Chain A
C-alpha cells in the first residue's frame, strides 16, 4: 500500500515540481511585488502599500478593450469553428477527414509572428483594400483597426476552437440522431435537441481555451492594431519592459488573474446551467 503511494507520488513529482516552480512561485512573486514600490530607476523596492491597486483605474481603458474584444473574438471563433467542426466530424468522408484535419493544424507550423506579418500585407493598402477598390466598391481601411485585430484573433485561435468541438461531435452516438428522426423530429430540431447539447462540452472547452488565452494576448493587437489597439497584455508589456514599473505591473497582473477567475467561474456556472446541470461541461 505504502509502495503504491510512493509510486503515485513519484509519477506526480515532475508535474508537481513544474507547477511549483513555474506557476506557484512566480505567482507569489507577482503578488508580493504588487504591494511594493517602484525604484527611482525602475524595478522593485520592497514596501507595503495599496497604492498600486488604487491606481488600477489608470489602465481601465486597456481592461475595457480586452473585456470587449476577448468575448467578441471567442464568439466569432465559435461561430466559424462550429460549422467547420460539424462538417469535419459528421459530413466529411473518412478519406478526406484526416487531410482536412491536418490542414487545420498546418498554420501552427509557422510562427504566429510571421503569419501576422503576412496579414499586415493582406489587410494593408496593397492587399484586400486595393482589390475592393479595383472592383469599384470604394476605398476601405482594414489594417490597424479593431476589425483587423479581430481577424487576426479568429485566424490565430480558430484551431483551438475547432478541435475540442470536433472531438465532441465525433464521439456523438449517431443512433441518437436516428432515434430522434424516427420519433418525428425534423433535422433542425434533432440538431438543437440532440447534437448541440451533446457537443456542449467541446464548445465549453474551446471557448475557455480561446477566451483565457485572448485575455493575455498582446502580439496580435500590437501588430495588426498598429499599436493603436491597446489590450491589457500590451499594458503589462509596457509596464514591465518600458516604464519598468514592476509593482504596478504586478498589481495589474493580479487584477487580471482575479477578473479571469471571476469570469471563468461565472462562465462555468452559466454553461452548466445551460447544459441542464450536467457535470461534464467543465474543464476542471
Chain B
C-alpha cells in the first residue's frame, strides 16, 4: 500500500496528535507524519460508489470517458466492458459536432474517445485535437471489412485517425396519412414545396446548419456542401420564405412527429427506423437530388487522460458480436461486413438502413469547410431570427 518504511509508534502518534491539537503543527503535517492522510485517500477511493470498481486491477485505469450521441450505445455492452476490464464508462452526450468541437477547443474536456462525424475529422486533425491511432492496439479492426467510401474519411494523409462506427443518411420523414391520398414525395423540391403549400405549419427543419442549409441548396440542385455566396443566398431566401410555414426549427423532432403536430421533418436514419416501428404510416424519403450521407468515427483526443482504456473500449466495441448487439439497440448500420453477416435478413433488406444504390450514389458526405464557414453560420442565425 505504501513504501513508507518508518513505523510510527503509539507514543509518537499521540505526541503528534497533541501537537496538532495545540495548533503547533499544521493539519497537513499531522496527516502526513501519521499516514492518516494516505490511509483516508486510499480508503476513500476503494469505496465502490466513489470510484470505478476497477481500482484494484489498475491495468487500464478505472474509467474511460466518451463523448458521443444520444441513443447511440447499448448500456449492457458498457457494463460487460466494465466487468471484463474494470474500467467504468462515463458518457457525455451531445447534439452536434460543433458543440463537441467547441468543448474540446475550450480544453480540459477529459474525454478519452470522441465519436466524430466524417466532416469534423479534418478540422480535428488540423487543430491537433486528435491523434493518429495505433492500429496494433485495435486488433478487432479490419479495414477490409468496410466499404472504402464509408471508411476513408477516417484516414488523412495515410494515417488513420478514425475507426468507423455507424453510418447513415439524412432524408426526411413524412406522415403519409397527412397527404390525403397524394403520392409520397421523392425529392427535396417537393419537401420545400409541401412546406409552403399543403403541409404549411406542420413541417420541421433541423436546428443544424449543415442539413438545414444543405437541403435548401438541394432544392436548386446545388451541392449539399456549397459555400458559394450566390448559391447560399438563394438557399437563404428559400429558408426565410419557408420560415412562417414551419412548425419548428429543432433537431428533436420525434415528439412532434409522434403527437401528429408535425407531418414532415428532416430526419436521420435511426430516428426514421424508430418512428416507423410505432407509426407505420411514416415514410422515410431520400431526396432524388441527393443530400447527406454520413459516417461516424471513434477518435482519440490528444489530450485523452486514459488512452489505454480508450483503445480497449474501441477494440471491445469492434468485436462483431458486440457490434451486432449495438446495432440491435440503436438501429444504425455499422458498415462492418462482419456485423452485417450476423444481422437478420429483414434488417439487411430495410430500405431505410440500406438504401438502393442509385439513391445512395447521389448523396454527399458533409465537407469540412461547412463546419467552419462563417457565412453558413450567419445564414442560420438570420433564418432563426427572421
State which of B62-70, B146-154, B288-296, B377-385 sits at the interface with chain A.
B377-385
**Neighbour of A41 across the interface among B243, B260, B372, B384, CB < 8 A:** B372
Which residues of chain B have C-beta atoms less than 8 A from A227's C-beta? 207, 248-250, 384
B260 touches A42 (CB 8 A): no
B385 touches A243 (CB 8 A): no
**Neighbour of B247 across the interface among A144, A230, A244, CB < 8 A:** A144
A245 touches B377 (CB 8 A): yes
Interchain nearest-CB distance for A236 vs B (Å): 11
**In the complex, chain A residues 116-157 whose Cβ is within 8 Å of any chain B Cβ:** 117, 120-121, 124-126, 141, 143-144
Which residues of chain A have C-beta atoms less than 8 A from B256's C-beta? 124
Residue B24 at the chain A interface, CB threshold 8 Å: no
Docked pose: A235 CA to B99 CA in angstroms: 14
Interface size of A as a range: 20 to 34
Interchain nearest-CB distance for A223 vs B (Å): 9
Closest B residue to A231 using CB positions: B385
A40 touches B372 (CB 8 A): yes
Residue A58 at the chain B interface, CB threshold 8 Å: yes
Interchain nearest-CB distance for B156 vs A (Å): 14
A226 touches B374 (CB 8 A): no
Interchain nearest-CB distance for A247 vs B (Å): 11
Residue A269 at the chain B interface, CB threshold 8 Å: no
Residue A273 at the chain B interface, CB threshold 8 Å: no
**In the complex, chain A residues 26-61 whose Cβ is within 8 Å of any chain B Cβ:** 38, 40-43, 58-59, 61
Which residues of chain B have C-beta atoms less than 8 A from A226's C-beta? 246-250
Residue A282 at the chain B interface, CB threshold 8 Å: no
B249 touches A228 (CB 8 A): yes
Closest A residue to B122 using CB positions: A41
Residue B109 at the chain A interface, CB threshold 8 Å: no
Interchain nearest-CB distance for A28 vs B (Å): 17
Closest A residue to B251 using CB positions: A227
Which residues of chain B have C-beta atoms less than 8 A from A230's C-beta? 381, 384-385
B contact residues, total (Cβ < 8 Å): 34
Residue A234 at the chain B interface, CB threshold 8 Å: yes
Residue A62 at the chain B interface, CB threshold 8 Å: yes
Q: Mark B244-288, 1 if CB is under 8 A from A, else 0.
A: 001111100001100111000000000000000000000000000
Residue A98 at the chain B interface, CB threshold 8 Å: no
Residue B358 at the chain A interface, CB threshold 8 Å: no
Which residues of chain B have C-beta atoms less than 8 A from A124's C-beta? 256, 259, 261
**Neighbour of A65 across the interface among B127, B246, B385, CB < 8 A:** B385
Residue A241 at the chain B interface, CB threshold 8 Å: yes
Which residues of chain A have C-beta atoms less than 8 A from B201's C-beta? 141
Interchain nearest-CB distance for B203 vs A (Å): 11
Docked pose: A221 CA to B176 CA in angstroms: 30
Interchain nearest-CB distance for A218 vs B (Å): 12
Docked pose: A58 CA to B382 CA in angstroms: 8
Which residues of chain B have C-beta atoms less than 8 A from A38's C-beta? 374
B248 touches A42 (CB 8 A): no
B385 touches A59 (CB 8 A): yes
Which residues of chain B have C-beta atoms less than 8 A from A43's C-beta? 102, 105
Residue A238 at the chain B interface, CB threshold 8 Å: yes
Interchain nearest-CB distance for B239 vs A (Å): 12
B385 touches A235 (CB 8 A): yes
Docked pose: A235 CA to B386 CA in angstroms: 12
A234 touches B248 (CB 8 A): no
Docked pose: A61 CA to B99 CA in angstroms: 24
Where chain B touches its partner, the secondary structure class is helix
Residue A111 at the chain B interface, CB threshold 8 Å: no
**Neighbour of B248 across the interface among A41, A59, A228, A238, CB < 8 A:** A228
B380 touches A238 (CB 8 A): yes
Residue B315 at the chain A interface, CB threshold 8 Å: no
Which residues of chain A have C-beta atoms less than 8 A from B101's C-beta? 41-42, 244
Residue A240 at the chain B interface, CB threshold 8 Å: yes
Closest B residue to A141 using CB positions: B201
Residue A93 at the chain B interface, CB threshold 8 Å: no
Interchain nearest-CB distance for B267 vs A (Å): 16
Interchain nearest-CB distance for B58 vs A (Å): 35
Residue B126 at the chain A interface, CB threshold 8 Å: yes
Interchain nearest-CB distance for B121 vs A (Å): 12
- Looking at A40, A227, A230, the one whose CB has the most chain B CB atoms below 10 A away is A227
Which residues of chain B have C-beta atoms less than 8 A from A222's C-beta? 250
Docked pose: A38 CA to B372 CA in angstroms: 10
Which residues of chain B have C-beta atoms less than 8 A from A41's C-beta? 101, 105, 123, 126-127, 371-372
Interchain nearest-CB distance for B201 vs A (Å): 7
B246 touches A243 (CB 8 A): no
Docked pose: A65 CA to B384 CA in angstroms: 12
B248 touches A242 (CB 8 A): no
Give chain A's interface residues, CB within 8 Å of chain B. 38, 40-43, 58-59, 61-62, 65, 117, 120-121, 124-126, 141, 143-144, 222, 226-228, 230, 234-235, 238-245
Give chain B's interface residues, CB within 8 Å of chain A. 96, 98-99, 101-102, 105, 123, 126-127, 201, 207, 209, 243, 246-250, 255-256, 259-261, 371-372, 374, 377-378, 380-382, 384-386
Instruction: Give 9 nearest A-B pairs by CB, closest first.
Output: A226-B248, A243-B377, A227-B249, A61-B385, A230-B385, A125-B261, A242-B98, A230-B384, A43-B105
Query: Given known contacts A42-B372, A126-B260, A228-B249, what 20 new A-B pairs fall within 8 Å (CB)?
Result: A41-B371, A41-B372, A61-B385, A124-B261, A125-B260, A126-B261, A143-B261, A226-B246, A226-B250, A227-B250, A228-B246, A228-B248, A238-B381, A242-B99, A242-B380, A243-B98, A243-B209, A243-B377, A243-B381, A244-B101
List 24 interface pairs A-B (beta carbons < 8 Å), by A numbering.
Answer: A38-B374, A42-B98, A61-B382, A61-B386, A65-B385, A117-B255, A120-B255, A124-B261, A125-B261, A226-B248, A226-B250, A227-B207, A228-B243, A228-B249, A238-B381, A238-B384, A240-B102, A241-B102, A242-B102, A242-B377, A243-B378, A244-B105, A244-B372, A245-B377
